A = this chain, B = another copy of it.
């Protein structure tokens, strides 16, 4: 961990007497999708505590004199335990610092932001929340897939694909509804079983479904297929986590509405037949 030798000087320089933590969403990847507030706070914060879903273009907006503290968080190998992150935030704020806690996407959508704030509140640390574009909204927008549409989906359900984490099986009956779009976060390793269970739970095997890798970034790749073919398509294309998976009739609209990623990554019927049949 960093030393804090320069903290008193920074406090004196800024005239800060009591610290504060800003829980900030970094958005889905494209740094242009940061909010104005997030960009301003990154330029002003004395310390930024961030994890691995935040890309280098966003980190470039941090003030050069600020402490940058990486606290990791890959699945099943947290670089820093959640309890240690909580303690770190309390300590930094207690030292009088203006601290940005930076999380990918939106901190209140599968970000454990609420848990960190509960610890801050218990310690009397002042805080604010700056929402970010959540991964589903970012990736779907750049993939040309409206999450709702009057003709196809009157609701959208955001879920995580971590079947075993957070306690309990997924609520398949809730997931397999008509006229609803499913946005599944981080579901790539579970993708084959999720697709099978959705069909077993009542969705058509022909239901359109897409996986989006590196959504909103220049390397974005989108595989649009169906529940029966998506897992094989994704494996054939070599997509890697984290991915955002979208299930629902709205995925069809990508044929008309794709605007961001290269045409080569827009599968057509012929491509689908080719890669699936191999």
Q: Which residues of B contact A121 (CB under 8 A)?
A: 256-257
Q: Return the 9 tightest CB-CB contacts between A and B, nearest first.
A: A114-B146, A32-B37, A131-B141, A155-B159, A108-B146, A129-B141, A131-B137, A114-B149, A121-B256
Asked whether any CB of chain B lies closer than 8 Å to the CB of A208, the reply is no
How many chain copies? 2
Q: Which residues of B contact A36 (CB under 8 A)?
A: 31-36, 39
Asked whether any CB of chain B lies closer than 8 Å to the CB of A219, the reply is no
Interface residues contributed by chain A, number (CB under 8 Å): 71
Whether A260 and B128, one on each chain, are in contact in the complex, defined by CB atoms closer than 8 angstroms, is: yes
Interface residues of A (CB under 8 A from B): 27-28, 30-37, 39-40, 106-115, 117-118, 121-122, 126-134, 137-138, 140-142, 144-150, 154-160, 166-168, 170-171, 173-174, 177-180, 250, 253, 256-257, 259-260
Q: Which residues of B contact A253 (CB under 8 A)?
A: 114, 118
Identify which of A34, A113, A174 gathers the most chain B CB atoms within 10 Å of its CB.
A174
Whether A156 and B117, one on each chain, are in contact in the complex, defined by CB atoms closer than 8 angstroms, is: no
Q: Closest residue to A149 on the B side, CB-wise?
A: B114
